[in-house]
Amino acid sequence: MAISPYLKQLRSHVGTQLVLMPSVGAIIRNEAGQILFMVRADNGLWDLPAGAIDPGETPAQAIVREVREETGLIVEPIAVAGVFGGEMLRLTYGNGDVTEYTFIIFECRIVGGELFSVDGEAAELHFIDRAQRPRLQVEFPDALFDPPGTHPPLFA
C-alpha cells in the first residue's frame, strides 16, 4: 500500500507507534450480484477495494477515489453497509508500523470505468459469488456481503 504524504509526515513524528486511521472500503457488485475482491500486490492477501481518507476529504469522496485508483471503476456510494473498528482492525506492517483502522464500508454502484489495476495495489481483481468469497486480510461479518437492503448497516 502506498503511503500518503500526510501519513508519511505523521510517521516522521511518531515512528512505528500506533496510528488510528479513518478508512473506507467498497462492496461493488456486478449485474450477476457477484462482489469485487482484489488480491493485494503488497502481500498477496485478498481484500476489498479500500483505503485511507485523506485530510479534507469526505468518506464518500475517498471511496470514489480509492476504487478508481485500485480498480479503474467509477462508482457511486449508495449506502453505508457497515462501520468497523477496534483491535480486529489493528495491523502491524513488515516495517513495524502499527495502524488501527476504522472502516466505513459502502455499498457502491458501478457508473463507469474499466476494470484494471490503475495504481498497482491490486495484483488481481475478480468478481466472486458471495458463497465462494475468499478469506480476507481482515474478516468482516458474513452479513456484510448479503444483498443490499436485507439488513440495516452493521456496526462493530
| pLDDT in the model for residue 112 | 98
Using left for φ > 0, alpha for ψ between -120 and 50, and beta otherwise, residue 153 falls in beta
Average pLDDT value for residue range 79-101: 94
Given a contact cutoff of 8 angstroms between Cβ atoms, the answer to whether 154 and 145 are in contact is no
- Tens digits of residue pLDDT in 125-141: 999 999 999 999 888 99
| pLDDT in the model for residue 138 | 86
C-alpha 21/C-alpha 85 separation (Å) is 10
Q: What is the percent of the chain with per-residue pLDDT over 90, rounded to a whole number?
A: 87
CATH number of the structural domain 29-88+98-121: 3.90.79.10
Domain ranges of the chain: 29-88+98-121
Q: Is the pLDDT of residue 118 over 70?
A: yes
- Tens digits of residue pLDDT in 94-113: 899 999 999 999 999 999 99
The DSSP 8-state label assigned to residue 89 in this structure reads: G
The DSSP 8-state label assigned to residue 132 in this structure reads: G
| pLDDT in the model for residue 20 | 97
**Confidence tier at 86 by pLDDT (50, 70, 90):** very high
Which CB contacts under 8 angstroms, 24+ apart, belong to 93-100?
95/16, 96/16, 97/11, 97/16, 97/19, 98/16, 98/17, 98/18, 98/19, 99/18, 99/19, 99/20, 99/21, 100/18, 100/19, 100/20, 100/21
Q: Which residues contact 147 (CB under 8 A, 6 or more apart)?
A: 33
C-alpha 22/C-alpha 83 separation (Å) is 11
Given a contact cutoff of 8 angstroms between Cβ atoms, the answer to whether 89 and 138 are in contact is yes
- Tens digits of residue pLDDT in 9-68: 999 999 999 999 999 999 999 999 999 999 999 899 999 999 999 999 999 999 999 999
Mean confidence (pLDDT) of the chain: 95
Given a contact cutoff of 8 angstroms between Cβ atoms, the answer to whether 52 and 19 are in contact is no
